Amino acid sequence: MTSGLPDQKKEWIELGRSTSSPKENTERAIVELDDYYVVIGFEVNNPKAFMDKTHDLAVDYGHAFYYVVKNSLISKALSFGPGDEGKIGWFNSGRPAPIKDGYMNSRPGDVDYPIRETVKTFKIALTAAQGRILELETEKFREKVKSGKEKYTAYLNDTCAESARDLLDAADIRTPSGSGRVKHSDILSLPIAYAINPYMWYNNFVDEGFSEMVMELGEDEEWQPTVGEIDPIFGSAS
């Protein structure tokens, strides 16, 4: 005698459209998503270099850099600074500069310029797309500097802060404005310029309420963000 109930096995097969076992059918694939953020750091430790919100290169260059963190490890870094004294002109050509002061004349750059002072940093979370674009743009810029196609010019918009902000912009990463007045009080023939500079950029991070972390360096200590290492500043706080 039949019970009139449907065939349970047959019903399960038809509804699930599967011939796998119930155990196999309930397993779920685990997908790991890349976790990205960027750390933007500043060496801006001399208040006299930023009187009346004007960056005075005669007092202190200042410095800005960044590194990308992917799944807790540094994946790319850029600390753009001067690598040589250089000559007058944008591409290290022309007559030698009578005074190689590093302000007006362009110089070969260094993409791993060492950090030697107290560092003030800010962390910005990124989407995976932003992180990957920033990694790509960072590597392209590093290659341009190494090949000599990109120079460092402290007085013009070809510096650590300007280059860093341009690359962040290319990855659609919003940061505060870094533009402000720049002068050199020891060279009166140089007019006040308006350019992205570390002191103004840092000032605007603070004004916009970004949370700050500070890393102190010991006397005569140097540091560089190193690809493949755990983030030393935010790594334990992530």
DSSP labels, 105-151: SBEEEETBPPB-S-EEEEEEEE-HHHHHHHHHHHHHHHHHHHHTSSE
Model pLDDT, residue 4: 52
Model pLDDT, residue 96: 39
Q: Is the pLDDT of residue 100 over 50?
A: no
> Which one has a higher pLDDT value, 171 or 106?
171
Cβ–Cβ under 8 Å, residues 103 and 155: yes
> Which one has a higher pLDDT value, 34 or 174?
174
pLDDT in tens, 227-237: 999 999 998 65
CA gap 121, 65 in Å, rounded: 9
Q: Where are the domains of the chain?
A: 33-215
* Bridge partners, residue 212, by sequence: 122
Here the tokens at position 167 are: 């690359």
What are the two backbone dihedrals, phi and then psi, of residue 61, each rounded to the nearest 5 degrees?
-65, -40
Question: What average pLDDT does this structure show over 55-78?
Answer: 94
Average confidence score pLDDT of the chain: 79
Cβ–Cβ under 8 Å, residues 56 and 49: yes
This prediction has a pTM of: 0.76
What three-state secondary structure class fits 169? helix
Least-confidence region, from 48-57, 82-91, 138-147, 176-185: 82-91
Question: What average pLDDT does this structure show over 59-78?
Answer: 95
Model pLDDT, residue 226: 95
Contacts of 99 (CB under 8 A, 6+ apart): none
Model pLDDT, residue 154: 56
Model pLDDT, residue 151: 63
What three-state secondary structure class fits 28? coil
With pLDDT > 90 as the criterion, what percentage of the chain qualifies?
51
pLDDT in tens, 206-233: 999 999 999 999 888 999 999 999 999 9
Q: Is the pLDDT of residue 39 over 80?
A: yes
Q: Is the pLDDT of residue 32 over 80?
A: no
Q: Burial code of 130-162, b = ≥16 C-beta within 10 A, e = fewer? A: bbbbbbebbeebbeebeeeebbbbbbbbbbbbb
Cβ–Cβ under 8 Å, residues 88 and 101: no
